[in-house]
Structures are given as structure tokens and as C-alpha cells.
Amino acid sequence: MPRQITAFSNTLVKRVRSLRDKKHRRREGLFIAEGLRILTEAREAGFLPEMLFFATGTRHALLDTLIGEIEAAGGDVIETSADILHKMSGKDNPQTVLGVYPALDTSLARLDRSAAGLWIVAQSLRDPGNLGTILRTGDATGAGGLILIDDCVDPFSVEAVRASMGALFTQRIATAPWADFLSWLRGGPGELIGTSLKAREDYQAPRYAPPAFLLVGNEAQGLPSAYEAECDRLVKIPMLGKADSLNAAVATAVIAYEIVNQWRRAA
């Protein structure tokens, strides 16, 4: 049976609230995901939270399923108030269900490049909304996962997890410095496709072959020149209006769908 927490001063409430901070997430090896839809996506992908908090009065068959499976797995289920959930999430529009998950393994070595034809690689991505959207694009296009290069925004921040709408749990995530990624990439098959405003090749011109690694750069700076030089291809999306570029997440989606649509048409 779920236990109840009614006090804002409860030590567990303070502990979960602290997970909004990256240093505490790293120290605890935990992160927060909010919302019944995201938690259900996680369950269907094989991930259950160590702790589940839900607001008093919340009723849903999917929540009942989650509670049953978490309790059967030895997890902790806590009923509390919407105000306490608000304190833990720090959001103006908190969800009525919140899960605390063990940190995911983000080592590059655990990736199996043969598991998918497309992989997305992001360098120095700073916006959690863009990161979450790119994860959703990866899920939608059947990509194997997202490889985060250099100093990217934390994929386990509350904002990034929320923006991913559950794709955080369906996509493999790896983090690595550029040199380590390049060494890993060149240790097996795979074409590195960079996106650049300086590219001469239209993104629809090449015939892409799996495994394809689609590399996008920082929202403001794009890819460093040295990184572009290491790409097997550099491509660009033609801009027919006055804007000089698309949002990083939008550009990723456009090119990712071109790559997989080529393979769909050839199938």
C-alpha cells in the first residue's frame, strides 16, 4: 500500500527537490521524470522508478498499473499533496505523478552501432528543449539514440526529460568528448554527416547508407571548423526566405527524415 507524506519539511521531499540540481543528480545517481504519460512510456520501455509520488485524488488505470509493478519490484510508492509535488518539481504547472529513476548508463562503449541505421550526434547543445525534441525526433525516425559531444546540457534535467515526452527512455543516450567519439566512430562502419551553413551539398543530394551518424552543432555557433573537417559529408538545408538557418532541433528532424525516407523508398 502507498504511504503518505503530508509535511513540506519531510527529508524525502527535500531530497527529491534537490534533484533539480545537476550536482545533486550526479551525487545521488538519480533523476526526476514527471507525468503519467512519460512514466508509462518508461514502463513500456522497461524502466521503473525507484520512487513514485502521486497527488491525493489522482485516479487512472495506468497509475494503478504503475503502482502495482513498482511495489512488486520493491519500489517506494508515496501519496502526497499537489502542493508538495509542486515543491519537488519546481514547475508552475506540476504533474500529478512524479517518478525518481536511477541514472542511466551513458557510456559510449555500451552502444551497438549495428542496432540502428541512424544515430544522432549533438555537439555542445545548450537548450534542454532542443535536446528533448531531438530525442523525440530520434524515436520517431527509428534512430538508435543520441550521442552528446563535449559540454552539452544535461539530458536528465527536469526540463529536458519533460521535453523528451518519454523518448529519453526509448533512445540510447551516450556522452563523450569529441576525441573519444571520433576514435569510437572510426573503429567500425559509419558515415559522419555534418550539418553546416558553409556546406556546398544540399542535404537531399547524397545517397545515405547505414549506419549514418548525423552531427549537429551548437545552437548559436554551429560546428567548430575542426569538427567539420572530420566529417565524411557536410550538408545544408536551403533557406528560401530571409532566415539564415533553422532551429537546431528542427534542422535535425528535417535531415533525419530525409535519411530514413531514402531507405524507406528503397525497401
Task: Kindly report, residue by residue over 34-47, the tens digit of the pLDDT.
Answer: 999 999 999 999 99
Q: With bands split at pLDDT 50, 70 and 90, how would you rate the model's confidence at 94?
A: low
Percentage of the chain beyond pLDDT 70 is 98
pLDDT value at position 34? 93
Q: What is the pLDDT of residues 109-157, one digit of tens each?
A: 999 999 999 999 999 999 999 999 999 999 999 999 999 999 999 999 9
pLDDT value at position 123? 97
In terms of domains, do 160 and 74 share one? no
pLDDT higher than threshold 90 for residue 1:
no
> What is the mean predicted confidence (pLDDT) over 175-193?
97
pLDDT value at position 105? 95
In terms of domains, do 181 and 114 share one? yes
pLDDT value at position 2? 81
In terms of domains, do 16 and 32 share one? yes
How far is residue 168's CA from residue 38's CA, in Å, rounded to a whole number? Answer: 9
Residue ending a domain, choose from 57, 81, 102: 102
Q: What is the pLDDT of residues 247-265, one digit of tens each?
A: 999 999 999 999 999 999 9
pLDDT value at position 92? 65
Non-local CB neighbours of 237 within 8 Å, separated by 6+ positions: 195, 202, 203, 246, 251, 254, 255
- Which residues constitute the domain of residue 32? 3-102
In terms of domains, do 115 and 225 share one? yes
Q: What is the pLDDT of residues 195-248, one digit of tens each?
A: 998 899 999 999 999 999 999 999 989 999 999 999 999 999 998 888 777 799
In terms of domains, do 153 and 74 share one? no
In terms of domains, do 243 and 128 share one? yes
Q: Of 127, 131, 86, give the one whose Cα is nearest residue 106.
A: 131
How far is residue 139's CA from residue 224's CA, in Å, rounded to a whole number? Answer: 27
How many domains does the chain contain in total? 2
* Domain of residue 120, CATH code: 3.40.1280.10
* Domain of residue 47, CATH code: 3.30.1330.30
In terms of domains, do 145 and 87 share one? no
pLDDT higher than threshold 90 for residue 194:
yes
Q: Which letter does DSSP use for residue 75 in this model? A: -
In terms of domains, do 40 and 55 share one? yes
pTM greater than the 0.85 cutoff = yes
> What is the mean predicted confidence (pLDDT) over 155-167?
95
pLDDT higher than threshold 80 for residue 95:
no
Q: Which has more pLDDT, 2 or 154?
A: 154
In terms of domains, do 93 and 132 share one? no
How far is residue 218's CA from residue 125's CA, in Å, rounded to a whole number? Answer: 5
In terms of domains, do 248 and 147 share one? yes
Which amino acid appears at position 27 of this protein? Answer: R
pLDDT higher than threshold 70 for residue 93:
no
In terms of domains, do 119 and 221 share one? yes
Q: Which has more pLDDT, 8 or 249?
A: 249
pLDDT higher than threshold 90 for residue 106:
yes
CB crowding 85-108: b at 16 or more within 10 Å, else e: bebbbeeeebbbbbbbbeeeebee
Residue ending a domain, choose from 57, 74, 102: 102
Residue ending a domain, choose from 76, 102, 128: 102
Q: What is the pLDDT of residues 52-72, one digit of tens each?
A: 999 998 889 999 999 999 999
Q: What is the mean pLDDT of the chain?
A: 94
